Structure 1
Amino acid sequence: MTFEQQTAVVVGAARGIGRAVAERLAARGAAVAGYDRDAGALAEAGTAFAKKGLVLECQDVDITDEAAVAAAIERTRAHHSGIHILVNCAGITGKTGIPAHQVEAANFEAVLRINLTGAFLLTKAVVPVMLEQGYGRILHVASISGKDGNAGMLAYSASKAGLIGLVKSAGKDYAETGITINALAPAVILTDMVAAMPAHQVKYMTDKIPMKRTGKLEEAAAMIEWIVSPECSFTTGFCFDLSGGRATY
């Protein structure tokens, strides 16, 4: 599979799934612009890419800021004369392991701001570019918790459910334009975000997976690679599961 002459924006490219996807697309020939709010970690990723003979164009972007998102997309579009792929892996869990009535409103709103509003702002900014081209692939990383919820993760589960709804709606809006908009719903993938969660919360989630293991970054990256490829042309507004058998519907 090749992505030569395509430009991909990968959000959350400094680490985790975002970094794995960015590296995979770059290795397949795409020009990759990596966005992240952690400028230091993003720069380190760029250095690591360079050692492998790959290029990661780094931009420090706060995806909760509409003007910043629009400016970043315009810079990438102008530099490459287009954007063909958007992969949004940005997300936070917020405080976990607490029941719903103990969730703080500020924490709830902060999680939704990054996980859901950020996805909306990215989609809003990149779709006009893709409409001009008559082609585009947008993939937002959701979560299996957005489908069936995780106890102790109210804000995160709600934000990912909203993200799945965003994809289902927007996918229909542009179904006749050559643009596909889909989501990926992983169960537990070994990332820094998961590592920072309480052990009992990770055990609760992993115990629900029939394979009795966490997913690997390369497994997520490989699936995303196909979803944003030209070959995946008849699926939009859909949420792909990556759950080790947890999803049964």
Structure 2
Amino acid sequence: MSTSSGDRYALITGAGRGIGRACALTLAGLGIYVAATARTESELLSLQEEIRKSGGHCRTIVHDLADSSSFERFYQSVEAEFDRVDILVNNAGIYGTDSLDDPGPALDLFKSSLDINLSAPYMLCRHFGTAMKRAGWGRIINISSISGQKAEVFGAAYSTTKFGLLGMTQALALELAQYGTTVNAVCPGWVDTKLALDQINDPEWCKLNHIEPSESLDIARLSVPMQRLIQPEEVASLVAFLASEQAAAITGQSINICGGLSIT
């Protein structure tokens, strides 16, 4: 799978673990220079070491996407490492259980979810998408969710932001379509990551859904027609394809990778 005739540079958010880490490893394995960002330095250093051992190139930037005041410094940090960003993978996100019966914490969760899951990707798309437009080539891949197509009970904050991410993807795809830049969304179902497993095992989530915590993982797995969780590397393979030259005619799309969960 070819990404270009020359070097390409990718920025991946939430790259310390899960889907983001798998994307970083996969893209680096294709010869792409990776800038990995996350909140936890130890996770980034571990990722960087793994990529370097396999012969890839990785730079790390510790950054909290919830801090909207720090984005200018973040842009400068990225651009100090790479002259440009050709591929932007907006992967970072948070999930939390919310209920109308718990309005105080639910409102705080809603605000933080908007900041990290929706506002941050928009800010990154604006900055790096503008540069892609000038360059005449770019790939933006937003990691949304099946919950961005079919609302999840007791997950209003998460579903709202993931629905919003799909709308943003389509709008930016239209704006950038004439400039060699594609914008797509990937919508995973249950993925074998800490984020998903924390949700599945959350006592409050289990209680609200009338599920015994000891049974929650099996229930989640059996809700998928393939009766298994998706692996982060499977999501990363789809991201890599969307970042490639072969995907040049694909834009504005929301592509499910969910083991059939979306059709149940």
- Normalised to the residue count of structure 2, the TM-score between the two structures is 0.86
Whole-angstrom distance in 1 between the partners of 2:2 and 2:217: 36
Amino acid at match of 2:151: G
Contact 2:170 / 2:253 at 8 angstroms: preserved in 1? yes
Judging by fraction of residues, say which structure has more helix.
2
Q: CA deviation at 1:60?
A: 0.8
**Residue 236 (structure 1) aligned with residue 247 (structure 2):** no
1:107 corresponds, among 106, 109, 122, to 109
Contact 1:36 / 1:42 at 8 angstroms: preserved in 2? yes
Deviations 1:6-25 (A, max 9, x none): 00111111111111111111
Whole-angstrom distance in 1 between the partners of 2:198 and 2:87: 29
Whole-angstrom distance in 2 between the partners of 1:165 and 1:121: 15
Whole-angstrom distance in 1 between the partners of 2:79 and 2:64: 18
Please say which structure displays the higher CA radius of gyration: 2
Map of 2:130 onto structure 1 = 128
Q: CA deviation at 1:207?
A: 3.8
Amino acid at match of 1:64: A
Contact 1:93 / 1:156 at 8 angstroms: preserved in 2? yes
- Normalised to the residue count of structure 1, the TM-score between the two structures is 0.91
Deviations 1:106-131 (A, max 9, x none): 11111111001111111111112112
2:32 corresponds, among 27, 30, 33, to 30
Q: 1:204 to 1:109 in 2, by over 3 A?
A: farther
Whole-angstrom distance in 2 between the partners of 1:47 and 1:237: 35
Map of 1:171 onto structure 2 = 173
Q: CA deviation at 1:161?
A: 0.7
Matches within 5 A, 1:72-221: 72-94=74-96, 96=97, 98-103=98-103, 104-199=106-201, 200=206, 205-221=220-236
* Gaps in structure 1 of 5+ consecutive residues: none
Contact 1:82 / 1:133 at 8 angstroms: preserved in 2? no
Map of 1:222 onto structure 2 = 237
Q: CA deviation at 1:78?
A: 4.9
Contact 1:62 / 1:69 at 8 angstroms: preserved in 2? no
Name the SS for the 1:197 alignment partner.
Answer: helix
Contact 2:132 / 2:181 at 8 angstroms: preserved in 1? yes
Map of 1:13 onto structure 2 = 15
Name the SS for the 1:58 alignment partner.
Answer: strand
Provide the aligned length of Structure 1 versus Structure 2. Answer: 247
Deviations 1:58-84 (A, max 9, x none): 001222334533433344345432211
* Gaps in structure 2 of 5+ consecutive residues: 207-215
2:63 corresponds, among 45, 61, 64, to 61
Map of 1:43 onto structure 2 = 45
Contact 1:139 / 1:183 at 8 angstroms: preserved in 2? yes
Whole-angstrom distance in 2 between the partners of 1:177 and 1:229: 16
Residue range with higher mean Cα deviation, 199-208 or 136-145? 199-208
Q: 1:179 to 1:125 in 2, by over 3 A?
A: same
Residue range with higher mean Cα deviation, 149-158 or 75-84? 75-84
Identity %: 29
Name the SS for the 2:261 alignment partner.
Answer: coil
Whole-angstrom distance in 2 between the partners of 1:53 and 1:184: 28
Q: 1:119 to 1:204 in 2, by over 3 A?
A: farther
Whole-angstrom distance in 1 between the partners of 2:101 and 2:110: 12
